[in-house]
Structures are given as C-alpha cells and as structure tokens.
Structure 1
Amino acid sequence: MKLWMVALCLFTFMSCTDIDLDQDFELDTSEVELAVPLFSSQMSIPAIADVSKINGNIEILQDGTIQVNYRGDVVEQSSTQIFPPIPGIFDLPIIDTVQSIQLPANAQDQISRAVIGDTNIDFTFGIDASELVEIEVTLPELSLNGEVFRRTFTIDNRNGDQSTIASGLISIEDHTLLPSNNQLTLRYRAIDEQGQSMILPMATIGFDVFTFNYVEGIFAERTFDIKGDIITIDLFSKWISGGVDFKDPKVTLVVDNSFGMPTKSKVNFLDIITLEGETLNLESSLLSNGIEFEYPSIEEAGSVKETTVIFDKTNSNIQALFSEKAGKVSYDIDALINEGRPQDPGFLTDSSFFRIQVEVNLPIDGKVNDLVLQETTDLDLSSYDEVASMELDHIISNGFPMDMVIQVYFDDATGMELDSLYDNGGLAIDAASLGQDGLVNNSSNIEGTTMIDAIKMETIKNAKSIRVVGRFDTQLYNDPVRLLDIYNLDITMGAKIKLQ
C-alpha cells in the first residue's frame, strides 16, 4: 500500500509536466525498488514567451524567425471631440429688414462651405396695429438642392387677437451653408394691407445647437490631446534575471486620419518601463521633429489616410532600451492641426476621426545575457518516511543555439531554498551546433543519473514547492542568435526509489 502512496506522491511532485502513463512500474523484490517515470516535456519559444492572448501574439516570419507582437488599445478621437458643435442662438433680435447674423464659431476659423446636420431654426414676429401683415423671410447663404431658404408668414391682427406669430422649429438639416466671414444674412419683407413695406416692431431668430455633416474652410491651429495608453510586455514575466539584447526591436505607430487638414504629431512621451520600474525615454528625431500625418484632400472627403512610422535601431535608441527587460511601453500623443499653415483650406465631416495604435515588435533574434527562466510547482513529501534514497535519471536534448544550465530547487513554504538537485551550480548543456546557413543542424544531448541519499531526502521532505530554473547565455558568441519555432529543449526524467 505504501509503495503506491510513494508513486502517487512522485506523480503529484512533477504534475506541472506531461507524464507518460504507458510505462510500467517495476519492483525489485530483493531491494524493494520502485521505478517511476516522472515527466517528459518539450520547451519551445512559445512556451518561454509567456505572451498574453489579450494584447499579444507570436508570429512566425517567413524565414522562420519568431517575432512577439504587442498591441496597445486603439485610441480614437472623433470630429465632435475635436470640433464640438457650435452653441445655439436664442431669440436674437432682428432690428432691420437686412441683418447680418454672426455664427458663434471660433473667430479664427473661417467657414467657406458647410452642410448642416440635425439643426433647427425658428422665428418670432410681432406687430402693434390691428391689421394683416404678410412676411417673407430669406436666408441667401442657406439652400437645399439649389433652392434658397425661404419662408412666408401671415399675422392677422385685424380683430386684435393675433399680434405675434411663432414659426416653431424648422429643420435645416442637409441644407448647404455658404457664409461670408462666418456670417449669415437674413432678409425679410413685411407688407401691410396697403401694400407698403414696413419694419416690424418685434422680430427674432433662433437656432438650436449647430451641427455639421461637412465643414470646409480655413481652420486655426489647434492642439488636441489624443491621450495615450500603456502596453504591457509580458514576454519577460517568467524571466527572473538577465536580459535579451534584441537585434532589431521595433515600435510601430499607425495613424488613421480622415480629417482633411494638415496634422502633425506631438509625442509628449514614449517610454520603456522596465520590470524593476525604471523609466527609459525613447529618443528619436522623429519624436523631436514631429510626424506629419497623411490626410485626404478636399476631393477625397470621406476617405481615410494611413500613416505608419517605425522606430527601430536606425532612427532611435530602442535597441538599447529593450535590452533592459522591458515590462511596459507607455506613450501619450497629441495632434497639432495646421501648425504653421493657417491659410491652407481643409475640411471635416461628422464621421472624421483620428485613430492611433502603437505596436511593439520583438523579433527574437539577438543575444541572450544570463537569462533565467523558472517554473514553480507545489510539493509535499512530509508524510512519506519510507524512502531511503532516490536516483533521478535524465535525458536532455538541447535544440537551441544557446548554452544552458539547468537546476532544480526545493523551497519551503516561504519560498526559501532548502536544497538543490545538481552540484556545481547546475547541469550544463552545450548549445546545439549550427550549420553554414546559421540554423541548428544537430542537437546537444546528455544523459545521466543523480543520487539523492537519505540525508538529502530528510531535507527535501520539508519542501513545499519545487522550482526548475534554466539559464541561457549567448554572449560568448560573436553573432546574434536566431530563435526559430522549430527549436526545442526536450527533457525526460524518471526516478528509481529505494524503500526502507
């Protein structure tokens, strides 16, 4: 019965790996020995690169090189956020038969043409005398399908019971507005019963909030906060020391723009934050000089232009930054509209937008500097007193072009190390050999046995977790190492247990 309890314990002991259940238990009746297969695992780059499925993915490039990509959230600003609707005009007095009405737009914006959105207009007229008055109102700069805005009203106060009239809300949606100096002209003609023109003693005009489906004109310089984002880089989340000197890391900025006016970026910051919390600034002339965004011409209204900017080792210090175990990429970007170009005509529509996405591209093709990978699994051997000693047999095949050192630690409940499996700092494994094409042509293989005596077992029985640590280093090689999806580290381990 106790033999099976020991087997069950060891099965649980290495539960983080794949166990081959097809092998048989072998019992040496003369020495009471139990042979137990512990685990057989294959480690590849997708297993090492603990990439979040939420904002990251692993891509295999055409040459087989592995690239890890991280994308930030899409940051988008709409036309109403950048050019908010114009406030309404309420009960503006009309003091003459011809009157200019100033649109309450930004005084520095000169609107030359606009298509009105969901906007209403209203009029109120009043007379003093007990008579009938016919009123015709026109707005020459406002038209629909080529027809100038025109409305007629009648005030019949001959019985003294209708001295005023209110038009109610009149929709001017889809009307075309062609203002001059941001002004709209109102003309009215009031004719009394004798056919004489008159100035009404009371007249008003009102608009609710002005919205536009399309606006064309010359727009003042503006700075808009498009806000920023933080991209979490979890590639290094399992690596507890060392770093990767990436050969060609990149940060890609993609901007979609449907505003029809010159726009330039103002990058307030684009920082790399290490796992230790240190903030490192990305430096590039592209950041200091600003990035000109592509934008549609007036003839291309409704289309979207894309601008892609890549920060790499040729135009920035990004390669040095990503050798420091990056944990996050943090950025904040503003848009500068018409900077230094206030006389260039432009346009916007009700659906215009800026859309910005930042992507981090990390081709795992570089140098690994004493990089440490670790996995921890729960362990409990405290109830098994019958084990006198244990032999651990291992077969390891290193298919990576990197030297490796593997160590197994036994830790207590606080994470304090109690003991380790291998002497001399760990089990060293040579790098796989490379062919003339720079690819692995032969794996490096080792087999061996490690004895755990009764004294060591007394210590290990107090362990509450087992920690497997692997170290990689390519700094001894002159050329960067390419890590491909076909490279693996295969480990098979079994135990022979002698019972008291």
Structure 2
Amino acid sequence: MNSIRKTFILFGISVILFSCIKENEFNYDKVAASTWDPDIAIPLVNSTLTINDITGLSSSTSIFSDSTRLVYLAYTGNVVSVNGAEFLILPDQIFYENFSISQADSNLLYNSGNLTLSNSVIIPFNTSGGEQLDSVYLSMGDLNFSLASTVPHNAILEIRMPDVRKHGVPFFLSVPLNGGNGTPVNFQSVTDLSGYKLDFRSSGNFNQLRVDYNLTLSNSGSSSPLTNKDVNINANIENIRIRQAFGYLGQRQMTIREDSAHISLFNNELGGSIILDDPKITFDIKNSFGIPLNARLNSLYAYSAVSGNLNVTGSIPDPLPVSYPILTGQTASGSFTLDKNNSNVHTVLNQNPRYLDFEVSAVTNSPFPVYNFVEDSSKFSVDIKALFPLRGYAQGFVVQDTTEFTLENIDEVKSATFRINIRNAFPARALLQLYFADQSGNILDSMLSDPADQIVRSADMNSSGEVIAAAHEMRDEYFESNRLTNIYTARKIIIRAVIDTKDSPMSSVAIYKNNYIEVKVGVRANLLLKFR
C-alpha cells in the first residue's frame, strides 16, 4: 500500500530546488524574500474489487465459478450422526468362578499327590440396548483377572477363552499359585484386548462366551486341613470400544448432532438485496452403517427479518433416499435437489433470509430388521448446500476493499487534489465512495462530496447480459487545507461500491468471475514555500 511521508515530500522539494543548480552559481545573499508553490503528484491507491469482495456474507459462504466463469454463492451445513463406536457402546462385563476343595478332593490329593479340577462355563455378554451380537472386533478393552487362593498347596491355574482370539490364537492365561507354605496367594493380571475378536457363536446362540478353567494342585506335604479352603476368580472386561460389530443391532432412534443444521445466509451487514433466477437446495445423504435407516426431513425453513419463518415445501422425499452398505468399508449414498420447478425455494430464498434451518431424524432397522454391521467410523450424514448462481438482479449489495494510507501534517501543504480513475466491468451501475478512516476503522471523512460524482455507469453489455467493455470515468476532488486537517490522522482508505444491476429489477444479468471495479487514486499536493 502507498503512503505519503514527510521525508518523501521534502526530498521531492529538494530535487526541485537544487537538481539543476551548481554550487558556485548559487548566492544565498542574493535571494530575496519570495514565495514558491510547486505541485507534487503521488499515486495513492490501486484497488480492484471483484465479487470476492462482496460484504454481508456469512462465514459458511463459499464463492466459486463454473466452466463458463459464472459466479455462484454456496452456503453449506450438515447434520451427522454419532459414529459407530458411540452408537454401539458395550457395558463392562463381570464374571467369576470358584473352586472349593471337598473332602473327597482332599483325600485324592493326599493319596496321589496331585489333583486336577476343571470347569467350562458359558458367560452371558450383556448389551445395553438388547443388541444380539454374533461377533465383535475390539479397538480397545481390558480383560482383568483377580485371583485369591487359600489352599495350602502349590497350584497352577489355567484359563482359556476359545472365543476370544487375536490373530486366530485363543486367549490363554497360566498362573502359578505358590501356597505350599500356608500363606494365602493373591494374583492380578490385565490383558489389553486391542485387536481381539470376540466370537459369540460357538455355543450356537448370540451374546455368549465360553471360559475353560483348569486347576492343578500339587501336594506340598502340608497337613493343614482343606476345609473352607478355595480358589476365587473374579474377572471383568472393561473400557470396551468396538472396531467392528456384527449381528442384529436393534430398532432405535439414532442420535443426530445438529450443530451445523443452522446455516447463516445473507446477514445484510451493509444492506441491499439480491434476487436470483434459479437458487437451489441440494441434499447429499450418506450412510456407512450396515443398517437400514428410515430417515426423514422433519423441517426445512428459512428465516427472514421481514417475513419470519418461511417453510420450504415441494418434492421432498419421505423417507430420504438412502440405502445401506452390504459390506464393511462401503458407503451408501443418495441425493435430491429442490429448485424453482419442484418447490418454492425461488420464493423463499429470494427474500434474502438470514439463515436456513433443517432437522433430520433416523430410525435404525426400519421398516424391517436385517443382519447388521457397524464399524467404529460408521456415520449417517446429511449435507445441505444452498446454491445461488449469480444470474438475476441486485439492488444495493456492496463490494468493499481497504488500503493503508498516511498523510503527514505538513505546514507547507496549502491544498490537494485527489484524482480518482474508475473502470467498471460489472454489468451494473455503482455508487462509489472512498472513506478516510483511522486505525480502528472509524470514518473521518469521505472523498467525493458531490453525490453526482459517486455514480459510476454500468459496463457495456451484449444482448445476453455479458460485459463487452468496461466503463471508464474520472473524478477530481479538491481539498483545501482546512479539509485536509480532517484526514491527517487517517490510516486507511475504504473503497466501497454499492451495486445496482442495470435496469434492475426489470432485467436479469449474470455476474462472472472476470467482472470487476478498478479504482486508482492519486494526489497532487500544492505547497506554499516561503524564503527569506
């Protein structure tokens, strides 16, 4: 950005005074009191405003152009379900086993020196929503065993879980219980179940795991009685997080996050309106749950400060058009578009609404139950895009740019003339103004004092409404010294153009990527220099 600095001006004055004078030709004693008023011209601003500089748009807006360079405004939002790991939360599992030594067992141990006790149990795997699981792959989980033995003999306890496998190898734990000295033995173990598969089908039913226990006692020669002596096993599976799960996952309402279901549109920060020929709302629906969903669009409306809530009606599918994948890693998708031919979006969106709101619901395994799967990354999502091709007419929408500016307070400046060169390549006339502002953006003064000078004519167009030649205009604005004092504290120049399409609202024009308003500003300062 350009600025006028005191040192630069004084340097220019020095050049004017001394560049053509040799030292021995200049006699200071012969200089009479006199007054000079040389002019100095300096460029200030070179700014090009395009549709990308439009103000009053929300943070959810993107601006792009198609292959013809026609410009579009796009507003996006989405709702998304919880992911698969949050959808299927498995509670902690608790199970236990106990070996009590009977009198017969005691006799056999003393007579033979060894005793083996075995037990195989089916433990239920509980679910919180009635899910019927046949297998689960875990990304996280802990298998905890806590053992306590009061048997006064050495022993080895083996625990096998043939339905809990990693890389095809069943879970196995062998624990030595050295109680031959008569001291009770306690043991604890924690196994990380990341990467394990839980197969619930070996018993022929769902939600069941088998655990095999084998306790081998060796006579230590102790004569202590075995009455009320036992080995207690307490176990739990906790911190369970699925990677994949298979089975029937039930019929229930899916939790939908609606953080982005509120889409900010025109906030009309600087006023104006845009009326477009063919706005559209497109819905893209994706489902990577291996579960049929009955999804519905419960509401869709725009809010206008003038008209309040405006319901969007038309050819909205019910249920929404989305299927479900049949293999892991797949995503089923569907979409539909509302436009002026199948809905009232043209009427609703052309009232310059402040925002668009929608609500989606989904029920799993509806209308019929099937075999399901879910992955930790599975999601159901609805992406919505409000698309505005900039073909239509506009009244009072604003494009704006800001440049840096500095004008030093120099006593010798008695006046200045600002020259503004404008090229308008928009298919619209513009009301142009430049504002001097301080560092915080507070406006101190405006450039063009005559309202007639603010009007810039539209570019020349062909019969299709496309620009064929930019309009060129030039303005000069004179500032006397007292008016200059208003802008000595200015640090910015704000260039603002209010667009009004030619003949609007009677004709429709298109905004293309190469449309622009170019503004160049230079200043010519008139200096009053006094010598004695």
Structure 1 counterpart of 2:248: 218
Superposition map of 1:216-365 within 5 A: 216-220=246-250, 221-229=252-260, 240-250=270-280, 252-265=282-295, 283-284=312-313, 289=318, 291-297=320-326, 300-308=327-335, 310=337, 312-313=339-340, 318-319=345-346, 322-323=349-350, 336-338=362-364, 340-341=366-367, 343-354=369-380, 359=385, 361-365=387-391
Alpha-carbon distance in structure 1 between the residues aligned to 2:66 and 2:414: 52
Quick check: 1:429 aligned with 2:456?
yes
Q: Give % identity.
A: 16
Cα offset, 1:132, TM superposition: 11
Q: Does 1:59 align with 2:47?
A: no
**Structure 1 residues 381-408: Cα deviation after superposition (integer angstroms, max 9, x where no partner):** 6945655555444443321111222234
Extract unaligned runs of 5+ from structure 1: 12-28, 194-199
* 1:182 aligned residue (207, 216, 224): 207
CA distance in 2, matches of 1:70, 1:190: 67
Q: In structure 2, what is the equivalent of residue 446 of structure 1?
A: 473
Work out whether residues 297 and 318 of structure 2, in 8 Å CA contact, stay in contact via their aligned partners in 1.
no
- CA displacement at 1:222 relative to structure 2: 3.0
What is the identity, as a one-letter code, of the residue corresponding to 1:343?
A: P
Asked if the contact 2:52/2:63 (under 8 Å) is kept, the reply is no
Structure 2 vs 1, CA of residues 207 and 312 (structure 1 numbering), >3 Å: closer, same or farther?
Answer: farther
Deviation of 1:302 after TM superposition, in Å, equals: 2.5
Query: Following the alignment from structure 2 to structure 1, what is the Cα–Cα distance between the partners of residues 320 and 174?
Result: 54
Describe the shift of the 1:494–1:192 C-alpha distance in structure 2 as closer, same or farther (beyond 3 A): closer
Question: Higher mean Cα deviation, 263-272 or 184-193?
Answer: 184-193
Q: Could you tell me which residue of structure 2 aligns to residue 104 of structure 1?
A: 126
Deviation at 1:350, TM superposition (A): 3.7
Give the drift of 1:63: 1.0
Q: Which amino acid aligns with 2:397?
A: L
Cα distance in 2, alignment partners of residues 496 and 318 from structure 1: 53
Task: Indicate the SS of the match to 2:450.
Answer: coil
Equivalent positions of 1:159-198 (< 5 A) are 173-178=196-201, 180-184=205-209
Residue 23 (structure 1) aligns with: none
Rate the CA distance shift 1:325–1:399 in 2: closer, same or farther, 3 A: same
Cross-structure match for 2:19: none
Query: Aligned partners of 1:135 and 1:113: how far apart in 2?
Result: 27
- What SS is found at the alignment partner of 2:86? helix
Residues 77, 280 of structure 1: CA spacing in aligned structure 2 closer, same or farther, 3 A cutoff? same
Provide the C-alpha distance between the structure 2 equivalents of 1:161 and 1:62, rounded to a whole number of angstroms.
Answer: 87
Between the aligned partners of 1:437 and 1:69, the Cα distance in structure 2 is 24
Q: Which amino acid aligns with 2:71?
A: I
Amino acid at match of 2:454: L
Does the aligned pair in 2 maintain the 1:116–1:211 contact within 8 Å? yes
Change (3 A) 1:51 1:296: farther
How far apart, CA to CA, are the structure 2 residues paired with 1:301 and 1:267?
Answer: 27
Q: Is the 8 A contact 2:273 2:352 kept in 1?
A: yes
What corresponds to 1:485 in structure 2? 513
Amino acid of the structure 1 residue aligned with 2:271 = S
Aligned to 2:236: 207
TM-score (norm 2): 0.65
AA of the residue aligned to 1:461: T
In 2, Cα distance between the equivalents of 1:40 and 1:102?
78
**What stretches of structure 2 of length at least 5 have no aligned partner?**
13-33, 101-117, 219-228
Contact 1:45 1:484 in 2 (8 A): no
Q: Matched residues in 2 for 1:315 and 1:92: separation?
A: 67
For the 8 Å contact 1:256–1:355, the answer to whether it is kept is yes
Aligned equivalent of 1:18? none
Give how far 1:260 is off: 0.7
Compute the displacement of 1:174 (Å): 2.6
Whether the aligned pair in 2 keeps the contact of 1:144 and 1:176 (CA below 8 Å) is: no
Amino acid in structure 2 at the alignment position of 1:473: D
Contact 1:66 1:485 in 2 (8 A): yes
**Residues 39 and 459 from structure 1, CA distance in 2 versus in 1: closer, same or farther, beyond 3 angstroms?**
closer
Superposition RMSD in Å: 5.4
Bigger shift: residues 428-437 or 334-343? 334-343
- Cα 1:369/1:97, change in 2 over 3 Å: same
Q: Secondary structure at the match of 1:405?
A: strand
Give the Cα–Cα distance (whole angstroms) in 2 for the partners of residues 414 and 138 of structure 1.
74
CA–CA separation in structure 2 for the residues paired with 1:370 and 1:444 = 19
Query: Could you say which residue in structure 1 is the equivalent of 2:88?
Result: 83
Asked if 2 retains the 8 angstrom alpha-carbon contact of 1:35 and 1:494, the reply is: no
1:216, distance to aligned residue in structure 2 (A): 1.5
CA distance 1:386–1:262, shift in 2 (3 Å): same
SS in 1 for 2:271: strand
Q: Deviations over 1:9-47 (max 9, x none)?
A: 9x9xxxxxxxxxxxxxxxxx9994525254563534255
Aligned length: 464
Residues 109 and 388 of structure 1: CA distance in aligned 2, closer, same or farther (over 3 Å):
same
Residues 107 and 410 of structure 1: CA distance in aligned 2, closer, same or farther (over 3 Å): closer
Distance in 2, matches of 1:7 and 1:81, equals 66
Q: Distance in 2 between matches of 1:268 and 1:31?
A: 79
Please say which of residues 251-260 and 307-316 is displaced more in the overlay: 307-316
Distance 1:170-1:81 versus aligned 2 partners, 3 A rule: closer
Q: Within 2, Cα distance between the matches of 1:166 and 1:461?
A: 88
Q: Which amino acid aligns with 1:182?
A: N
SS for the counterpart of 1:461 is helix
Q: Which residue identity does 2:130 align to in structure 1?
A: Q
Larger radius of gyration: 2
1:261 is displaced (CA, Å) by: 0.7
Indicate the larger mover: 40-49 or 138-147. Answer: 138-147
Match of 1:120 in 2: 143
Contact 2:300 2:357 in 1 (8 A): yes
The question of whether the paired residues in 1 share the 8 Å contact of 2:276 and 2:388 is answered with yes
C-alpha spacing 1:439/1:101, structure 2 compared with 1 (3 Å): same
Shift of 1:61: 0.9
